[in-house]
Structure formats: structure tokens, C-alpha cells
Amino acid sequence: MALNIYLSGEIHTDWREKIISGARGLDLYFTSPVTDHDASDDCGVAILGAEADKFWHDRKGAQINAIRTRKAIADADVIVVRFGEKYKQWNAAFDAGMAAALGKSLIILQPPEHDHALKEVDAAALAVTRTPEEVVSILRYVETGVLPG
Amino acid sequence: MALNIYLSGEIHTDWREKIISGARGLDLYFTSPVTDHDASDDCGVAILGAEADKFWHDRKGAQINAIRTRKAIADADVIVVRFGEKYKQWNAAFDAGMAAALGKSLIILQPPEHDHALKEVDAAALAVTRTPEEVVSILRYVETGVLPG
Amino acid sequence: MALNIYLSGEIHTDWREKIISGARGLDLYFTSPVTDHDASDDCGVAILGAEADKFWHDRKGAQINAIRTRKAIADADVIVVRFGEKYKQWNAAFDAGMAAALGKSLIILQPPEHDHALKEVDAAALAVTRTPEEVVSILRYVETGVLPG
Amino acid sequence: MALNIYLSGEIHTDWREKIISGARGLDLYFTSPVTDHDASDDCGVAILGAEADKFWHDRKGAQINAIRTRKAIADADVIVVRFGEKYKQWNAAFDAGMAAALGKSLIILQPPEHDHALKEVDAAALAVTRTPEEVVSILRYVETGVLPG
Amino acid sequence: MALNIYLSGEIHTDWREKIISGARGLDLYFTSPVTDHDASDDCGVAILGAEADKFWHDRKGAQINAIRTRKAIADADVIVVRFGEKYKQWNAAFDAGMAAALGKSLIILQPPEHDHALKEVDAAALAVTRTPEEVVSILRYVETGVLPG
Amino acid sequence: MALNIYLSGEIHTDWREKIISGARGLDLYFTSPVTDHDASDDCGVAILGAEADKFWHDRKGAQINAIRTRKAIADADVIVVRFGEKYKQWNAAFDAGMAAALGKSLIILQPPEHDHALKEVDAAALAVTRTPEEVVSILRYVETGVLPG
Amino acid sequence: MALNIYLSGEIHTDWREKIISGARGLDLYFTSPVTDHDASDDCGVAILGAEADKFWHDRKGAQINAIRTRKAIADADVIVVRFGEKYKQWNAAFDAGMAAALGKSLIILQPPEHDHALKEVDAAALAVTRTPEEVVSILRYVETGVLPG
Amino acid sequence: MALNIYLSGEIHTDWREKIISGARGLDLYFTSPVTDHDASDDCGVAILGAEADKFWHDRKGAQINAIRTRKAIADADVIVVRFGEKYKQWNAAFDAGMAAALGKSLIILQPPEHDHALKEVDAAALAVTRTPEEVVSILRYVETGVLPG
């Protein structure tokens, strides 16, 4: 049973790499948003021309990024959403909402200090995890039925 | 053309009341989450019994609140999502994601300082507004074709 | 916010009456399967003629009952599924599965001794309750935002 | 015409192996839930940490198992649900309900003594069988048009 | 529980009237195709102008009739399809196929001599009946839980 | 059988009024886009503030108008799309495409000189008409089964 | 652009073979119902045991055949439905109705004498053909853009 | 992440070739309507026989072309719609409407002089571009995260 997994959210630490390398050998296919922060912010104006107003600068970029993220979410069986310790991360919660409405299996990766603020998001998830290793253990078990240790 | 409108997000200011009273006389039907903050936080344990672990205390409450919010979102033609100046407000972004995935018309109400952080959410919206009065003007125009002033 | 609620499952105690009378005054609309046990078992042959084979006797009845239950489930916002202390009650679990797949809000009403056996069903539910009074409290809160006591 | 088949239900006898080996050579792809009973019961706490309360112990595990079973049901063309002679088996009936609501072809494998109790489940099925061999004969016929004997 | 019922098929006998009058007093809402045979055949050219080719004469009419029948089928909870003793009646079988694909509850009303030829249609139905009175008895039971006699 | 009808397209002649007045007495409910051309063009900037760039001026307005038109199309049983003799009218063809994808019954009202250019749109329609009177005759027939004359 | 094509309907002539051999070399994938008439009629009792009543004999078989036909229809891009010169062929019209409701492209293959009786079915089709060669020409054109001759 | 892209609209310039050759090496799969103008216009009568009336000549062809375009749109992740400088191009706007209703990512390729007339179409798009090169840059970025230059 191959699984398609979208890794959504925080882009400043190496959690995606940890999951992908930890899951090596399993029949899993990973997708991600563009994680180059500058490219992601500026893709709209870089391709389609500058905007005087930052609001439309952002809009043009966010719309192009949506081509990728919507495809990735639509194709995914499992969405892992990582909330880091900084920033607003509303795009992560937005992805989680899309995933929930589409009936995707949702795994949240979050530090305990966010538990209360994320309770509505967590209530739609099938697992709330603390580390990339826990995510890998879940994916391995779902794929193979084998537990760690 | 009656419109069903769900007012999602921030619960610490009177923006809902401003929209509802401003829209008086129009054929609009408004729903909201439970906006009593304590009731919303504690409904799970108040009804179903205390939990030793705050995580499950929150989970029980969030799941009961989801009965209301999912019904309201499913029935809505328009979702207005208000981002205030404080707190994480991930539940607001989560509601916006659900609304987008379900093809609902989305109106965001946000202060300009959040524009960059909300760009992915805004890119899925049909209007980004600054005041409850702008929301009312949109709803009146959509309903009647009449512009303000 | 009116709610349409389907009361599925056990038909040998008065749990439906307790919920309906406890919820009096709220904007709730309740439906149920046919709870006359003999009528439910024999409706197929009573209307469409006797069958020599009990299997087809049961099939004819179950199919007619399905006209009612599928309509009720399709129209419901909330499905309450009661598991009693006796019998196999596979039809209750089947209704819960349909409700889950259709994205309905699911409330389970079960005695604690069934907790382990119902864990897969409960995992799809937004509330697991022990008494009809708890169900009423949830419905009142969802409808009005008011907690008991 | 390749067929994807999910084998749901009872995990204490070798009915899955009989079907899979009997169907060798056909263009069929089989999936199953995790059939290691202990792993299935304990996967939640084994990966995500112990729970003091058995209810949440079970919930964590059932949610992780749901990642696998929902994917398998969503991908399946045919769901075979086996009801054995012991246990409550509500998860099997729940899977059957999900399958029915999703419009999947449903084959039930059950001993005659359960016929009356399973009549609502059977009424949604395209075949009610007594032995793994009958299931294999159906799958071979559906795939190749060839009948046994 | 109000039910919306579409009465499809044969238009040369009074079976519709028998069902509607037999069901008086129940909370049922009936729709039908246009049962004026000449109007139904000629509506296209009568409104939109004559066609030299009978094929397009028929096409124009059939498309206009489809506006009515698709709406009726889409809104129906139950579709009753009557096969009479004469004519090809492919439109009746076509309506049954649409109803089945849309998950509607299907009741077939047919004489026994058609049983073998209708076996694929019947296999998608929740009841196969012989008389309008049996249809009424089913609808009354589904609505009220009361059996005849 | 009440019908909900969306009148899409050209806004410079009185075809909507002719249909609505011609259909008086029938159980039809009509919706339209905002037909005040200036209001429709400028609603975005009138409510949400001026834009230096005409492209975004248009975008803001078109998005607000979409709140109304998407609701109207989603609720409609029948979409009548009028192509007039002037202008590009791409929004009319766009509405027709949305209606087709959503399975709505489509009636096109067009002058013969557009027949070739509209052939793809017409191929998705259940009727191609030349005058508002023909549209009224179709709606009356669909509603009542009565043909003109 | 590979196309998946389901060949539904009449099983007494070699129209399927003509289409399949005529389409050799194109990127088309064909499926069919079981076309062995006896196997198709008796599959239910042959596998699951005899029935005293012919009605249930037929039902058991029709349900097993439905596993194959529903899968084939669900996977198809194009459904070709052949109406021959004899028999009731209600299963063919039923398949056409399912295909229409599911939004599949429908091609009908019928002799001219059935035109009037098939007008409702034809009105849902994208092509009405007279010979297997016409079907092949359509499929080749759809696939390659090349017309015959 | 492979992407399936449908190139809709204008068929008189080489914009499709520019996109396809510009995107060489990326994991993209392109489909198009039949771009041979005469074949596209006459396919219906060439295969199924001449029509005296040009309206039906066009209808027969448009319906056959719809087999290809609907499949291509249904399978696409991204729809690029090109509006050229001439002709009515209502089929292009119709395709855009279908794509929007189906939730596909929409990229419009248009000259600035059409901006006002296309504002409703553009408001449903994730990018409005001026040249095939801009389309290629978007597709490359979506696929690889790499910006031009």
C-alpha cells in the first residue's frame, strides 16, 4: 500500500529531511511546498512583473504557490502539518483545514506549548506528534504493521 | 436571494454585532461559533466529565464545538473570517481552509499588519476587508446591487 | 441554527424518548428507524408476500427499512448511535460507518464495558456519552452555547 | 480489469490467506488492516506515549489504524467483510457501513447463525458468502467470466 | 419525515393516480414526467420550430423533457419506476440507472413476466412490487412505521 | 415543482424583464447578476478603496460579483444564458461552462449569427432559443406540461 | 491521451470484436460485461447455491455481475451502449442512465428503427452511431484528431 | 510531482508548441483539443453523415469534440486558456468555466486589451499571463521551485 504524503507548514528547520530520510525504504511518496522562502515570497512578481503595492505582490505569489499546494493536497493520502515555535503560520492551519474538509488523514507535528491554541486543528487530526521520529514511526506502522523497538 | 453567512474567528471584540446590526433589513442569516470563551474551552469536561490531562480536556471540548462549526460552515454561502490583533487564531485559518476546500465564498477581515502572513489565506478569498462596515457594504451589494453612498 | 438528528441503534429502552423530551424547546428535529421490532422484522413479507427462505424474508424487510434509514441519515446533521447492553447491534455500527463516510457529526451513547470493542467507532465520533442526559446537554450547548448547571 | 480488494473484519482465523492464495494468478490487489492484534491495540501508546486512561489509550491506537483502513477502503473496488463466530466485531460492521456509503461493492463472509443479526449489512451487499472459496469464485468470475467446475 | 417521490415510466394506465390517491394524508410529495404523450413527443418542435428530420424532432423534445425529469430525479428521495406490458420503455430503465448512480432509493413496479429481463434493474432496487397498492403500503410504512391490515 | 432559474449574460436589453413578466403565475424563482453596469464594474473599489492599476480595479470588482453569481448558479435548477449582438460576453460563456460542469440544465438564448461560434456551448445545452418568449414557453411546459397555442 | 471504454449492451453479435479489432494500435483500453450468456445468468447459483425461486436465482446472479459492471462503468471515460434488434435490453438502458448520471461520455450504437424509442437515451449521448465502424472512427478521431478517408 | 496540463483555446498561432518545447525536461504531460480547424468543424458529419441544417452539422461535431475535451479537462491539474486577438472564442471561456467549477488550477494567457472583458474569467484564475514564456516559467517553478534568471 503506497502512501502519498504532503509535508505542510514550517520551512525553517530540517524536519522534512528527517522524515524523508527516516522513512527510507518504505513505499512512501513525499511532496512539499516550495521551501525556498525568498522564491516562495517573490515568485509572482519574478515571473509576472513587479507590483507597486505589496498586497498584490503577495497575492500574485500566493496564487502561483497555490497551484502546487492544491495539487499536492489533492493527491495526498496523509497530510503532515508542522507548527514551529515562531511566526503566525496561518498557511499551515489553512492547509490543515483544507485537508480536513477533503477527508484526508491529518497528522500534526507541534510542540506542547501550542497544544491549547491548536486544539481545533488537533481535533480534526488522527495523530498529534512531537518529533519527526514519531511521524516516521506512524508511517512505518501504517505501511507495514510493524511497531518501533 | 437569501444568504447564509458564518462569522468565524476572533471573539474578543464586537465585530459580529457591528456586521449583524449594520446588515439589518437584508435577507441575511448569520451563524457564529460559541463566543463565550470559557464555555467554549470547557464544554467537553463540563458535560462529559473531567480529564486529568489538559490535552484531552481540550480535545473533548474542541470536538463538541466542531459539531456546531461544521454544520455552520456546511450551510453557509459566505464565510467571513476575522483575524484580530492578538493570539494565534489558528482555528480561524483552519475554518478558512475548510471553507476554501468546500468552495464557499470567503471574505477575510484583517488589519494591514497581517497582510503578509495571511497571503495564502487571502489568495483564496473573494474579498479582503479592513472594517465590519466594508463587510456590510459587500453583503448589501451582493444582496441588492446597491453600492454605499 | 436548526439541527436535524437521527437517533440510531438500540430499540429496547426509552433512550430516544429521554432525549426528545429533554430537548424540548430547542430547534431540533429528530428522526428514528421504525422502532416496532416485529414490524421492522416482517415489513418485507407483510407487504410483498411470504418467503420460504428466512434469508430472503430478512432481505426484503431490511431493504424496505433502508428506504427510511438512508433518507434519515442523508438528511441528518448529527447522528446519535446508541449501543445497548445486549444483542449484536451490527446495524448500529453499520449506520455509524455510513455516517462517518458521509461526514456527519457522530455522537455515540454506550456503556463503559463496550469501550474497547467500540474503539474504532468511537474514533470517528465527536462525542462518546454515557447517558441520554449527556446527549441532551451537548445538543443544547451546540444549539444555544449554554452549558448545564 | 484489475481489482483492488480490501479484506476487512475478523483477524483470528486464516480466511485472508485462503482468499489470497486461492486467487493466485488473477489480477487482484489485496489490502488488509494490521492483523497483529497486540500491535493494533497498542500502536497509539507505543509510538506516542502511554495514557493513564484506557479510553485514550484505545483512541490513540484506533486513530492511527484509521489512517490505514481509510486509505484501503477509499482505494478498494470491492470490500470483503468477514464476521467470525466470536466477539462484537463492530469495527467490521462499521467498515461495511463506510463501504456502502462510498458506493463500494460489498461481499460479506458470515456463518448462517449470524444471518438475522446481519440483515441490514447484508442488504447493502452484492454477495453473502459462507466460505473463502466462494469469495475466490466470485472474484475469479468477476475478473475472467469463468465459473467454477 | 417528508418524502419526495418521482413516479417514472409507463404513461398509459392510471397507476400514478392510484398511488397518489392511496397515499393521501401522508407527508409525501409526488412528481412525474409530462404524461401527455403528444405534448411530450412534440414539445421541442412546438416551441422551437419544426425539424425536417425526425431524429432532430425527437432530440429537441427529449432535451426539453430532460429539464423536468432531471430536476425531479435530483430532488427525489424515492424513485418508483413502472414497467408496463407494452413498448420498449427504455426511458424507464434509463431513469432507473440515473437513480441508482445518484444513490436514490429505487422501487420497481413490474408484472412477473418481466422479472428475468429486469433482473439487473431489480438488483439495484430496494423493493420490487406488483401493484400500486404495494407501493402505497411501502410508502406508508416508511413514513409512519405502520403495516397494512 | 418549483424551479430556480438564473438569468445570465447580456445586460443591455430587457430580455430578463420579458421572461420574468411572461412567466408570471408560474412557480418560478429568478435570480440575476447585478445588471447595473457601472455598479458592477466599480463595486470593488467603491467598497474596498481605489486601485492605481485598472487590472486590480477589475479584479476586486469581479471577485465581489462572484459572491453573487456563484451562489445564484449553485442554487439554480436552470441557467438561461443570453448572448447579445455586441461585446465579447466571455463572462456569459464562463457561466455556461460552470453550469455545465455542475450538471445544471442549460438554455441558451442567442441570435442565429452566433450559432457557429457558440457550437461548443450549445452542445452542452438542453435548448437553444431565439426569443425570450421561447424561453417562457419552455419554462411553462417544464412546469405545467402545457404547450403554447 | 489513453481512453478507457466500456462496451455495454447486446451480447449476441460480434460488434465488440469489430470495435476492438478496428481500434487496434490506438491507446484504448476496453472492458465488457461477461458476454457468456449462460454464465451471466447462472453465476449466482453456480457459486452461492441453488434457489427454489427464479426471482432470487436472478437476483443473486445480477448482483454478482454488478460487481464487474459498476467497476467498469466507474473507470470508463467513454461508454458505448449497443441496442440490438431483439430483446428488451433494459440492462443496456440502465447502464446508459448510470453513465449519464456519472457524467461519462456516452456513445449509442443503434439501428434506425429504435430512434424514437431511444430518444431520451440518445438525448444524453454525445454520438448516436449505426455501425461499429462509426464508433471506431469516433474513437480514432478523439484519440488522434485524424478523420477517416 | 508530475502535472497534467490542458492547453485550451486559440488554435491559430503556435503558443502550444512554445509552451511544450519550453517545458521540455519537466515532468509535465500536455493535452489539447483537436487543433486542425477543418477536422474539428466537420468531424461530426464526416463520421456520422451529412446534415442539411448547419446547426445540426455543428452540433454533431461539437459533441464529438466534447468527448476529447471533457476527458482532458477532467484529467488535468492545470488548465491554460489562451485568448487570442480575434474571434469570439466562447469555447475558451466555456472551458475556463468548466475548469473553475471543477476546482482546477487555471492560468489565463491573454493580451492586455482583453483585460477588462475577461475580468470575470481572470478572477477565477491563479495566474494571468502575457506570453507562453511566462506560462513555462510558472510551470517550471511549480514543478521544481526554481525561478527564472
Q: Give the pLDDT mean for B62-73.
A: 98
Q: Is the pLDDT reported for residue F131 higher than 90? A: yes
F57 CA to chain E: closest CA distance, Å? 39
Query: Which chain E residues are Cβ-neighbours of C42 within 8 angstroms?
Result: 147
Query: Which chain G residues are Cβ-neighbours of E122 within 8 angstroms?
Result: 58-59, 62
Q: Which residue in B has a C-alpha nearest to residue D56's C-alpha? A: B56
ipTM over 0.95: yes
Q: Do residues G75 and G49 make contact, with C-beta atoms less than 8 angstroms apart?
A: no
Q: CA-to-CA distance for H81 and H100, rounded, in angstroms?
A: 12
pLDDT, tens only, C17-30: 999 999 999 999 99
Q: CA-to-CA distance for E83 and E110, rounded, in angstroms?
A: 5
pLDDT, tens only, F65-75: 999 999 999 99
Beta carbons of C52 and G53 less than 8 Å apart:
yes
E121 CA to chain F: closest CA distance, Å? 24
pLDDT, tens only, C79-109: 999 999 888 999 999 999 999 999 999 999 9
Compare CB distances from H43 to G103, G128, G141 and report the shortest one's residue. G141
Residues of G with CB under 8 A from a CB of C: 51-53, 56
Q: Write down the pLDDT at residue C149.
A: 81
Q: Give the pLDDT mean for C62-89.
A: 96
Residues 6+ apart with CB under 8 A from D19: D7, D30, D80, D132, D135, D136, D139
Local confidence pLDDT in tens for the 149 residues of chain E: 899 999 999 999 999 999 999 999 999 999 999 999 999 999 999 999 999 999 999 999 999 999 999 999 999 999 999 999 888 999 999 999 999 999 999 999 999 999 999 999 999 999 999 999 999 999 999 999 999 98
Question: What's phi and psi for F80, nearest 5 deg?
Answer: -100, 125
List Cα–Cα distances, B83 to B102, B112, B122, B139, C88, in angstroms.
20, 11, 11, 19, 49
Beta carbons of A60 and H127 less than 8 Å apart:
yes
Query: Which chain G residues are Cβ-neighbours of H67 within 8 angstroms?
Result: 78, 105, 107, 126-127, 138, 142
Q: Write down the pLDDT at residue F8.
A: 98
Q: pTM for the full model?
A: 0.97
Q: Give the pLDDT mean for F109-121.
A: 97
Q: Which chains touch D (3 or more CB pairs under 8 A)?
A: A, B, C, G
How would you label B23-36 residue by residue, b for 16+ Cβ within 10 Å and e otherwise?
Answer: beeeebebbbbbee
H12 CA to chain A: closest CA distance, Å? 24
Q: Is the pLDDT reported for residue F84 higher than 90? A: yes
Beta carbons of G141 and H42 less than 8 Å apart:
no
Q: Which residue in B has a C-alpha nearest to residue A9's C-alpha? A: B120
Beta carbons of A39 and H134 less than 8 Å apart:
no
C-alpha cell of residue A75: 493527491
Size of interface A-B (CB pairs under 8 A): 121
Query: Which chain A residues are Cβ-neighbours of H145 within 8 angstroms?
Result: 34-36, 39
Relative to beta strand D28-31, strand D3-9 is parallel
Query: Which chain B residues are Cβ-neighbours of F11 within 8 angstroms?
Result: none
Q: Give the pLDDT mean for C109-122.
A: 97
Residues of H with CB under 8 A from a CB of G: 31, 34-36, 39, 42-43, 46-48, 60, 63-64, 66-68, 70-72, 75
Q: Write down the pLDDT at residue F149.
A: 81
Q: Is the pLDDT reported for residue H149 higher than 90? A: no
Relative to beta strand A28-31, strand A3-9 is parallel
Q: Which chains touch C (3 or more CB pairs under 8 A)?
A: B, D, E, G
Q: What is the distance of C-alpha A89 from the center of its chain?
A: 11
pLDDT, tens only, A45-83: 999 999 999 999 999 999 999 999 999 999 999 999 999
Residues 6+ apart with CB under 8 A from B87: A117, B10
DSSP D119: H
**pLDDT bucket at F87, cuts 50 / 70 / 90:** confident
**Touch B-F: 3+ C-beta pairs under 8 A:** yes
Q: Write down the pLDDT at residue F65.
A: 98
B42 CA to chain C: closest CA distance, Å? 9
Q: Is the pLDDT reported for residue H112 higher than 90? A: yes
pLDDT-flagged residues of chain D (< 50): none
Q: What is the distance of C-alpha C144 from the center of its chain?
A: 23
Q: Which chains touch G (3 or more CB pairs under 8 A)?
A: C, D, E, H
If you average pLDDT over every residue of chain F, what do you get? Answer: 97
Q: Which amino acid is at H87?
A: Y
Query: Which chain H residues are Cβ-neighbours of F117 within 8 angstroms?
Result: 87-88, 90
Beta carbons of F60 and B105 less than 8 Å apart:
no
Q: Give the pLDDT mean for G40-66.
A: 98
The CATH code of the domain at D3-35+70-144 is: 3.40.50.450
Q: Give the pLDDT mean for F67-96.
A: 96
Instruction: Find which of A53, A57, A63 to mutate to test the F interface (most F CBs within 10 Å of its CB).
Output: A53
What share of chain H has pLDDT > 90, as a percent? 96
C-alpha cell of residue D148: 467454477
Q: Write down the pLDDT at residue F1.
A: 85
Q: Give the pLDDT mean for G96-111.
A: 98
Compare CB distances from B126 to F42, F64, F75 and report the shortest one's residue. F64
Q: CA-to-CA distance for E120 and G59, rounded, in angstroms?
A: 8
Q: Do residues D101 and C102 make contact, with C-beta atoms less than 8 angstroms apart?
A: yes
Q: Write down the pLDDT at residue G1.
A: 85
Beta carbons of H97 and F96 less than 8 Å apart:
yes
Q: Give the pLDDT mean for A85-97.
A: 94
List Cα–Cα distances, G99 to C21, C75, F34, F126, G107, in angstroms.
47, 26, 37, 18, 10
Q: Give the pLDDT mean for C71-81.
A: 98
Beta carbons of G46 and D105 less than 8 Å apart:
no
